[in-house]
């Protein structure tokens, strides 16, 4: 397997048989040519294109144009279009928390629509955006970025009746997940983490994830998981 990158390699310690090379420049039949002058013959090609912000159906004055980041400019609270806050964009951020973040944004947008939250004037909205962008600019590490998004979600949930959840604890799990991924790209999926709601440790896979080729529900239900150890009662 050969992974071709556009700007920089992922940099993981890949096992034997996997390598990274610069961008593909062109193909000649089943031979790919790369930017470093090398070439290789392939049986199959998978295009991993990522995401592109593209709203061709929106007029220019309403169209969000941004790159993949944790806090797109020109959105108040990362949601409301600054020139016209009646336009709402949800989920435009790069994501660590995913659905919790989407939920928190939806709760906030709902309260604005229902009149429970009154948006400030443009100057105040832009000042708030500037503050968040300045904080985001100071993020250097992955941990910084996770803490930033956790603080962003907390800012949204503090203003609504969104059900309480340990966003900061989830952030610590995400940091641990990133650490496990950096240590071994081939085994991090086998790590188990505890629930921030119940404290229950997730069951571990009974065998390496790469050996579990059958992803059907029937196979999953037939797996014998390693049960977590019971906690000793303290008298």
CATH number of the domain enclosing 19: 3.50.50.60
The total domain count for the chain is 2
pTM: 0.83
Domain for residue 216, yes or no?
A: no
User: Which run of H or of E encompasses 40?
Assistant: strand 39-41
Give the domain extent around 97: 60-173
pLDDT digits (tens, 9 = 90+) for 169-220: 999 999 999 999 999 999 999 999 999 988 999 988 888 888 877 778 887 7
Domain for residue 182, yes or no?
A: no
Domain for residue 127, yes or no?
A: yes
Q: Do 144 and 69 have their domain in common? A: yes
Of the candidates 37, 45, 121, the one whose C-alpha atom is nearest the C-alpha of residue 76 is 121
pLDDT digits (tens, 9 = 90+) for 31-67: 999 999 999 999 999 988 777 888 999 999 999 999 8
Domain for residue 205, yes or no?
A: no
Which residues lie closer than 8 Å to 145 by C-beta, 6 or more apart?
A: 70, 96, 139
């Amino acid at each position: 397997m050969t992974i071709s990158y556009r700007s920089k390699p992922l940099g993981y310690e890949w096992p034997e048989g996997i390598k990274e090379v610069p961008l593909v420049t062109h193909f000649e039949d089943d031979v790919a040519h790369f930017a470093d002058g090398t070439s290789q013959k392939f049986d199959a090609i998978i295009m991993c294109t990522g995401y592109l912000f593209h709203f061709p159906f929106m007029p220019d004055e309403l169209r969000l144009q941004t790159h993949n980041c944790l806090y797109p400019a020109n959105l108040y609270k990362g949601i409301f279009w600054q020139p016209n806050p009646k336009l709402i964009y949800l989920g435009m951020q790069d994501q660590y928390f995913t659905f919790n973040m989407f939920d928190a944004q939806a709760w906030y947008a709902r309260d604005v629509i229902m009149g429970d939250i009154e948006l400030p004037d443009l100057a105040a909205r832009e000042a708030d955006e500037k503050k968040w962008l300045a904080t985001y600019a100071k993020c250097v590490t992955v941990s910084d970025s996770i803490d930033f998004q956790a603080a962003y979600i907390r800012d949204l949930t503090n203003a609504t009746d969104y059900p309480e959840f340990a966003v900061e604890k989830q952030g610590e799990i995400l940091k641990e997940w990133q650490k496990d991924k950096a240590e071994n790209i081939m085994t991090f999926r086998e790590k188990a983490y505890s629930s921030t709601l119940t404290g229950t440790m997730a069951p571990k896979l009974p065998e390496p994830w790469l050996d579990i080729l059958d992803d059907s529900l029937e196979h999953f239900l037939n797996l014998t998981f390693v049960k977590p150890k019971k906690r000793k009662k303290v008298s």
